[in-house]
Amino acid sequence: MLTLYDFLPSGNGYKVRLLLSQLDIPFKLVEKNILKGETRTPEFLAINPDGRIPTVQFDDGRTLAQSNAIIFYFAEGTAFLPNDRFERAQALQWMFFEQYSHEPYIAVARFWIHELHKREEWADRLKERWQKGYQALDIMERHLQGHRFFAGDSYSIADISLYAYTHVAEQGDFDLSRYPSIRGWLDRVADQPGHVLITQSVFG
């Protein structure tokens, strides 16, 4: 059976858990607590030299890392990856946007505040995270004013990728009340068949 090395509060891990659940693919969950350095042990670095979760391991021992590459792998040939070549590239465009312009600000602010409880101590460093995080949300809002989803007309891994940290952005003290189109999209994503919550460990 597929093994997923993961840390349950992680939005990056949640992307994989959500898609595998929606695809009905069973997996064995092996928790690695990043707060305790469990992804930096020699044993785990042999599985992923980059020392990060999520990482999946197939029965034959092969491994795959990077949340967005993992969900691309499992989405190929399914309705979660657009059939159209341009829309497939659009999905990747938003997924690279997520890792470059969204996650480093929105996920990191959430991690510092919600996991590390450094809101007061790191107030200065948080300012840049909030400013750039809001820039990412502004771009998402603008796109969603004219579109129901991020790539093509239907729910795809681009939505899963952006949903993961956007739907918990308030845990990083981002105010989503000013983003009506994002809030409508969050509801549409949560309404998809097979949706699970970030705190739900399916099959695990």
Contact positions vs a copy of itself (CB under 8 A): 49-50, 62, 64-70, 72-73, 76, 85-86, 88-90, 92-93, 95-97, 99-101, 103-104, 139, 142-143
Measuring CA to CA, which residue among 187, 89, 101 is closest to residue 140? 101
Q: Report how far residue 94's alpha carbon sits from residue 186's, in angstroms, rounded to the nearest whole number.
A: 16
Question: Closest separation between CB of residue 127 and a copy of itself, Å?
Answer: 16
Q: Which is nearer to a copy of itself, 104 or 195 (CB)?
A: 104
Burial track 65-98 (b if 16+ CB lie within 10 A, e otherwise): bbbbebbbebbeeeebbbeeeebbebbbebbebb
- Decide: 26 and 1 in contact? Cβ < 8 Å: yes
Q: Which is nearer to a copy of itself, 40 or 200 (CB)?
A: 40
**Peptide bond before 54: cis, by omega within 30 degrees of 0?**
yes
Q: Which is nearer to a copy of itself, 76 or 170 (CB)?
A: 76
Q: Which is nearer to a copy of itself, 85 or 199 (CB)?
A: 85
- Decide: 189 and 147 in contact? Cβ < 8 Å: no
Measuring CA to CA, which residue among 76, 109, 92, 110 is closest to residue 151? 92
Q: Which is nearer to a copy of itself, 70 or 113 (CB)?
A: 70
The strand pair at 2-6 and 55-57 is best described as antiparallel
Question: Closest separation between CB of residue 190 and a copy of itself, Å?
Answer: 25
Question: Closest separation between CB of residue 128 and a copy of itself, Å?
Answer: 12
Question: Closest separation between CB of residue 132 and a copy of itself, Å?
Answer: 12
Q: Which is nearer to a copy of itself, 34 or 95 (CB)?
A: 95
- Decide: 113 and 171 in contact? Cβ < 8 Å: yes
Question: Closest separation between CB of residue 65 and a copy of itself, Å?
Answer: 6
Question: Closest separation between CB of residue 200 and a copy of itself, Å?
Answer: 25
Token pair, residue 111, equals 């991690």
